[in-house]
A = this chain, B = another copy of it.
């Protein structure tokens, strides 16, 4: 572990454990051994315990006092449902964007989209973020907060491992851009919901490929 001497070890540990879970190294239902992780990362249990609390809140771990933390048994249905919820919120925001974004911002959105079309898979991730970021910028604070959480608890940028994801994404984004350009809130919502639904399927497939559901005890 890259001991950076700056507070925030817990955050790195969260990322580490999350990776282990989503990558299938820690199987659903299995127990988290604090001591083992402490040994692996060469840190004490203190920051580890704080990391476990975060992952518990995110729903990736089930924590029972005095018993320990266990990897949550996330099902495919959970993932699909998760992205459905994500889509519901993001759809509402897209509808707001269709009404609230001014000419300047709509132009920038189109510019980002054009860049996205021509980008490599590598840069695509960054532009994808910018795209959604701009749309979400007109959402109220709490909504943005919730979106951030939804995109963290089953990490976004995950389905980006799926071959051909960008091709599908471009098509979806086109619909969204068109709807927002036309100031059509309802079309924007539907397009965004569709987009997130497909992202959910892609994410579930990506997890499957990473071995997440291999012999879940």
Q: Which residues of A contact B (CB under 8 A)?
A: 6-8, 10-11, 46, 49-50, 53-54, 57-59, 65-66, 75, 77-78, 81-82, 84-85, 88-89, 92, 140-143, 145-146, 149
Contact = CB atoms under 8 A, between A and B. Distances in A.
Q: How many copies does the complex hold?
A: 2
A61 B50 CA distance: 15
B46 A81 contact: no
B140 A6 contact: no
Contacts of A140: 77-78, 81
A6 B53 contact: no
Contacts of A84: 143
B81 A88 contact: no
A201 to B, nearest CB: 15
A11 B6 CA distance: 28
